[in-house]
Chain A
Amino acid sequence: MEILYSWLKDYLAVELPAQEAADLLTNIGLETTVAGAIPQSALQYLDQVVIGRIEKIEKHPNADKLTCCQVRPAPDAEPLPIVCGAPNIKEGDLVPLALVGARLTVGILKESMIRGALSKGMMCAPDELGLGSDHSGIMILPKDAPLGKPFKDWLLAKDVVLTVEPTPNRGDLLCVLGVARELAAATGTKVRLPEIKIVEEPNVIEEKAEVVIEDYTGCPRYVARLVSEIKIGPSPEWMQKRLEASGARAIANVVDITNYVMLELGQPLHAFDYDLLRKEKIVVRRAAEGEKFTTLDGTERTLSSEVLLICDGAGPVAVAGIMGGANSEVKETTRNILIESAFFDPVTIRKGARKLGMETEASRRFERRIDPLGCDRAADRAAQLMQELCGAKVLKGRIDAREKLLTPAPILFRVGQVPRLLGFPVENDALQEYFERLEMKVVRKSDQELAVTPPGPRGDLAAEIDLIEEVARVYGYEKNPAELPEFQMQPLHRSARELMRKRCRDLLSDLGFSEVINLNFSCDQDLEKLQLEKNDPRLQAAKISNPLGDNWSKMRTSLIPGLLQNLSFNFARQQDQVKIFEFNKIFLSAEKPGELLNEREMLAGVLASSGAKSLWNLKCPAGGFYEAKRMVEQVLNELRFSGARIEPASDVPYLLPGKTARLMLGKDRAGQVGEVDPRVLKAFEVDFPAFVFEFDLELLLKYERKLNKAVLPSRFPASYRDISFLVDEAISHSEVVALVRGLRLELLAETALFDIYRGEKLPAGKKSMAYRIWYRSAERTLTDDEVNALHAKVTTKLKEKFGAEIR
């Protein structure tokens, strides 16, 4: 909410510069900024700067871009010659004129010759005065700026607009008086309430109108006043200025007055054209389901029972607390007015406004709860202004319909709670003073207990803890001491998940991968690109009811689309090598309806290269697979999953079936690695082979990791035998290793592959594999004969099982 500072000052008993008022408000909990306030740092530059008037502008004899001006520094002084380069000045303009000796941001001003012309001062742009960074031209001051007066005084006295941002619990701060109350509490002064004086007519309102509340829950109180013989016209200029500064367009006096009183006191009012009410009464009731009504913005609205209506005995004339109706609107011809000043229930108004999709200045205030005790005063205030400004006659008395007044109840306040919760004691006298500054009533029940009654506008104060906060606010958060708590030491519970993430992050980034974070949103098109089967659970992505865009309409069920998008994004930016990984959750359907989603944290990575700067052999794209697989091995190794198995698989829809492996932990599949199907890559606009790996962190966390027992190195040398053989292409490395291991040779140490050869010299469908097989004993050096005997077993078995042809 914006407030003209001069308006706020009407209610203050203390003189404060605007910036200081804003700081006080901010420090007591109402965030306040000042538009056009003078930065503290500028004050040092503003001495010896006066308001001057440009009397004459002539061309500089020696420079095209300069002018020679005559600027008068005071009404009775001679003009000073001043050379100026700014293009925005004209004769008659009032400007900030720095006199010789003035200190500006550009230095101390001296008399000088500029290209042969004398200059005895300077007209200033904002930046030269320390007022921001604007250097586009000289500051041109309004016509009413006083010639010859110190510029600083004029600047400090100039009216400014405060912007206050009350928190949603403080509806009472959505008005000028509420802000004044906070400022009064902050300064220990009293607010000056507007004086309300009305000359009433002898005839009483009750003869002319009646108010019937059918729903006391929705409308606990309804105050009405009647004014007659009003003259509709524009409101006075001072009122228009205040309204416009607060963002309310000035329309005509009656409407302006209702807005003005709302901004001043916080009570939304409504003015009905009394002569348009079909019966002389007001009925407050719920709308019927499907009832239709046209609000004064011309929109026909379909209502429901959640909406509260103001009716005139024949039908609706306003949506209570939200907007009036077109059928009873005040117009130029209006003569008599019924002023509504009601308290509507916050929840009722909020539900109704939501239902209708409307938010108005009135509904905003009712939702945040207005002062239930202030309805009568606001009605009087409006009547007074209509009398003073529109020549209206005010009928005697007001109708005040209600079941019972919503008077705030006293709150029991235990003095001991202050040191317990704030960490320092406050004397009872001081406590009482703080509460009274906030217009609360205090009754001392004992040394230990106070009964504190909050004022009407403070609907947010209902419990002792609310009062504790009030004490802290008024005492000052800044003054509140600070100390580190003492506590009983406990074992630090370290999160296994966090540790696992940390190790993998550090490892992968050390190995050349960059961590990315994608938004956890996705869409159907992304998933379609993955070629998933119809029944794939990843297609059942949770849908967002209010997404920020179509491509963010669902929760992610796979990290892969995001990573492939990152790939394409970076290739498009000339990155020829992309190695990225991401830790993030995927969101699969709940196991049972109504439960939380099956959120699984995944670690996934992509690597691809578009250029020659590749670290693996691009001519053999399969090289990328082994680099990706190496990452999987490194991660498993880092996390000490020694029992993990990486096996051939062909069931990942977005990976090439012959170039995919799955990662198995026990019976669980904990991830996969493979080359991305080029058709998928094409859908993501990637033209180069790409390889991915994925881990399901939930499964990694489920499996216990083994810290292997340390093995002592043998004191005796190992011996090896190399073997090279021809086998069918279908025989895999892991089968060879398994076969050797299957022999259960006690002295076998290691089976290491060192070459695979395929070529024209070999028979079709065959490959040559070469292994170095190590043998070792912990007790002695093996003899050649022993090693030969062992190795013969390996050779025999290879021939027998795989039909290997030893070379």
Chain B
Amino acid sequence: MINGAINDLAKARQELASAQSLEQLEQIRVSYLGRKGLLTEKLSSIKDLPPEDRRAAGQELNRIKRELEGLLESRQAELGKDAEEKDRQQKIDVTLPGFGTERGSRHPVSIILEEIVDIFEGMGFSVEEGPDAETDYYNFTALNFPKDHPARDMQATFYLESGLVLRTHTSPVQIRAMTKLKPPLRVICPGRVYRCDADVSHSPMFHQVEGFQVDRHINFAHLKGVLMQFLKEFFGGDIKIRFRPSFFPFTEPSAEVDIGCLLCGGKGCSACKQSGWMEILGSGMIHPNVLKNVGYDPEQWSGFAFGIGVDRLAMLRYKIDHIRLFYENDLRFLKQFY
């Protein structure tokens, strides 16, 4: 039996030397040391020997087993190194596309809206929102639009049969916020607004961010300062900015803000009607009548307000010349934005 085992060991030694893979090695291990392996069987037949021989045979067989195990291990280490090296040298086509879920996209207008809100939040403005279907009072009267005045024609209005109007601007939220809160205030009001208008640059629903600040000492210089800061952050520091007088019933003095045309750099082109300037937003000092309408004493408090057309900024940012693209929701268009 011992001799048989020594033969086994010699045979195994040869087999191990010629084994070329870890799989072959495992087969060898099983054939000698597995449950029904040659050595295992011999070890288990020790109990059939006469009791006085068992001890010596056991010791010898176990020595052979350990030796075989040692051989297996060292051969395994050698082959393992080869295999590892082979794995390390393996090549894949790294130019194949990445695997997994494709990302989706954010609507370009909502990206720009969020960016505007972020800039103003950074300057300490808080967000307030209001209803889309407003009363005439909040949309017009409280904002100092006189009844039966041509100023009401400035914004083509949708009327609901119930008598409500679809807000033509987010300015009514200014009234709601000032009524609800106490000055000093720094508030922005993002939201959807509606006008009875549809062409290349007008959609009957679009987005606006109204903003205002009321405090004891706010003046027109602050209006300019804050809006210039915003425009520089949004468009970059070297943007040209122009303030010029305009008219909105709820602000006075009122100012239209233009930036130097982004397409022609101010030389004049068809996008800026040869003027070199593009209208960006409307603004002004909150009219004393508006302050009175919400119960603020215009002798104590003053403020500025502004309204930013989000869609227009998105069109400029992404160089889009037709507002329709924002609302027909063509995925081939939308998937570019995130």
Contact = CB atoms under 8 A, between A and B. Distances in A.
Interface string A518-546: 11110000000000000000000011111
Interface in A346-368: 346-347, 350-351, 367-368
Contacts of B224: 480-483
A597 B158 contact: no
B131 A515 contact: no
A17 to B, nearest CB: 15
Interface string A222-237: 0000000000000000
B101 A469 contact: no
A542 B107 contact: no
A367 B150 CA distance: 7
A422 B329 contact: no
B103 A489 contact: no
Contacts of B186: 487, 490
Interface in A494-516: 494-495, 497-498, 502, 505-506, 508-516
| Majority-rule SS of B interface residues | mixed
Interface stretch (A23-31, A58-66, A294-302): A23-31
Contact size range, A: 35 or more
Given A515-B110, A544-B159, A473 B131 contact: no
Interface stretch (A166-174, A320-328, A651-659, A678-686): A166-174
Contact of A485 (B213, B329, B331): B213
Given A498-B117, A545-B159, A596 B106 contact: no
A481 B105 CA distance: 42
B105 A509 contact: yes
A39 B267 contact: yes
A45 interface: no
B34 interface: no
B124 A492 contact: yes
Contact size range, B: 35 or more
Contact of B331 (A33, A39, A570, A599): A570
Interface stretch (A143-151, A571-579, A716-724): A571-579
B131 A599 contact: yes
A477 B245 contact: yes
A552 interface: yes
Interface stretch (B21-29, B76-84, B89-97, B198-206): B198-206
A170 B247 contact: yes
A424 interface: yes
A615 interface: yes
Nearest to B274: A39
Contacts of A170: 247
B271 interface: no
Contact of A368 (B150, B219, B246): B150
A505 B124 contact: no
B204 A552 contact: yes
A480 B243 contact: yes
A285 to B, nearest CB: 20
B15 interface: no
Contact of B106 (A27, A423, A509): A509
A712 B244 CA distance: 63
Interface in A163-194: 167-170
A514 B205 contact: no
A307 to B, nearest CB: 14
Contacts of A580: 329, 331
A472 B251 CA distance: 14
Considering the complex of A and B, which 5 residue pairs feature the smallest CB-CB distances, nearest first? A423-B221, A29-B245, A167-B247, A482-B224, A469-B253
Interface of A: 26-29, 31, 33, 37, 39-41, 167-170, 346-347, 350-351, 367-368, 419-424, 463, 465-466, 468-469, 472-473, 477-478, 480-485, 487-490, 492-495, 497-498, 502, 505-506, 508-521, 542-548, 552, 555, 566, 569-570, 573, 575, 578-580, 583-585, 587, 590, 593, 596-597, 599, 615
24 contacts: A26-B275, A167-B246, A169-B151, A169-B249, A421-B220, A463-B288, A468-B252, A480-B243, A482-B221, A484-B225, A485-B217, A487-B213, A494-B127, A498-B190, A512-B101, A515-B105, A519-B203, A520-B194, A542-B161, A544-B166, A548-B198, A570-B329, A580-B329, A583-B110
